[in-house]
Amino acid sequence: METINVSQSEEMKKGEGSPQKCRRGGSIVLLVSFLFGLFGGILGWWVGPRLASDLSLPLPPIFRDIANQKEKNTSMTLPSAVSSEEALLVDLVEKSTKAVVSVVITKDVPKYRSLFDNPGFPFFFGNPFYEREYDTGETERQTVGEGSGFFVSSNGTIVTNRHVVDEMQADYTVIMSDKKEYSARVLARDPVQDIAILKIEGDNFPALDLGDSDAVKVGQTAVAIGNSLGEFSNTVSRGIVSGLKRNLVAGSGFGASERLSGIIQTDAAINPGNSGGPLLDLSGKVIGVNVAMAQGAQNIGFAIPVNSIKNALKEVKETGRISSPFLGVRYALITPEIQKENNLPFEYGALVVRGQKMTDLAVVPGSPADKAGIVENDIILEIDGIRMDEENQLGDIIGTKRSGDTITLKLWRKGDTKEVKVTLEERK
């Protein structure tokens, strides 16, 4: 606006015609010059390199720079439909979801009928009718829960959580990704770990490969698949392994709780209904079984390491059930505070002690520990070379063994340290 105003002022002083006409004519000349210059520049930029290339002549430096920059920009800006990692994940999900199933729990529950009573109050006090439910003495079939699971063999063997199938009087139905339904029976429930094995009749089912949870590293990619909220089957979430060897007490929300030890933490979203579904690595192998999530927090989920599942599957295959190994001692984990209070020589280990009741003996009579000569006030320092501490508690280590396994205990007793071999037995 300032340039136009200055031109108008000068032209009016000279008296050379209308300022509007002079302004239009000057603009057209400038526009034509600009267009010719722009066209020539573009033509030179486009034709020059190609002409030199066709004639096998060396490019001028300016054209070489422009051509190189153009190739560089082209290689940088060409988008890919999916990156290599995304393609890997898409392929993983397409193959894995076929082996993941929804587990539906149904049972007969009491049938109630609603009746309305009128206590006789006037209408202006509000609704005079009160709803009451009466047990009719009859039952009706209802869905009482849902979870997830996955095939570990083509003959219909499925892994899930024990808490998914803990209803002894319930029926279990497996729904596959193609919506086919199968009646399932519970082969075994692990009495210690939150693991259960199901079986459906049939063959040629898609199965997942089991990985090695001992090789899992914090920070590696993790993919969780399951029946989220009991409504969205084959929901896929992606994250990383956030931690290893976590110990916590998980509750069902109905008063039941259990201790989970040595488990995998992940930030891949795990929701109600995901329980029993697989946690996979990028190769599509199972590294864990989704089991719990932290309430009041975001993206803190947990999975049982797959190596624990391998032991359970092997035992079911050999014996048809999962047994619980038994040592037979009552103990207190030694901490620096306990060491100081009791003047103990170690700040770690499991101190064999009595309970508060007279019947809470330190060593169960006739147990494997009793047979091996373990007595009250012994300190179990190690099991098979693993030191007993907060991360490796005695009960957790025993839980990874099988009935009939022989373990080596490193004991401290009245100033002497020795090794004792113990053969574990099945808990009665």
Question: Which CB contacts under 8 angstroms, 24+ apart, belong to 365-371?
Answer: 366/328, 367/326, 367/327, 367/328, 367/329, 367/425, 368/326, 368/327, 368/328, 368/422, 368/423, 368/424, 368/425, 369/327, 369/328, 369/329, 369/422, 370/328, 371/422
Taking residues 281-310, report their average pLDDT: 89
Which has more pLDDT, 343 or 40?
343
pLDDT tens-place string over residues 116-159: 555 544 444 444 445 556 666 677 888 888 999 999 999 999 99
pLDDT tens-place string over residues 228-254: 776 778 889 999 999 998 888 766 554
Domains in the chain (CATH in brackets) are 2-74 (no CATH), 213-311 (2.40.10.10), 325-426 (2.30.42.10)
Which has more pLDDT, 29 or 4?
29
pLDDT band at 164 (very low <50, low <70, confident <90, very high): very high
Buried-exposed string 179-194: b where 16+ CB fall within 10 A, e elsewhere? eeebebebbbbbebbb
pLDDT band at 19 (very low <50, low <70, confident <90, very high): very low
pLDDT band at 38 (very low <50, low <70, confident <90, very high): low
Under DSSP, the state recorded for 121 is -
Report the distance separating Cα 225 and Cα 275, nearest Å.
10
Residue 65 is predicted with a pLDDT of 57
pLDDT tens-place string over residues 344-377: 899 999 999 998 888 889 999 999 999 999 999 9
Mean model confidence pLDDT for the chain: 79
Q: What is the DSSP string of 315-338?
A: HHHHHSS---EE--B-EEE--HHH
Helix (H) or strand (E) segment spanning residue 150: strand 130-151
Residue 356 is predicted with a pLDDT of 82
pLDDT band at 34 (very low <50, low <70, confident <90, very high): low
Residue 400 is predicted with a pLDDT of 80
Helix axes 2-14, 19-54, angle to 10 degrees: 120
Under DSSP, the state recorded for 272 is T
pLDDT band at 388 (very low <50, low <70, confident <90, very high): very high
Q: Which residues form the catalytic set?
A: 163, 194, 275
Taking residues 100-118, report their average pLDDT: 77
3-state secondary structure of 341: helix
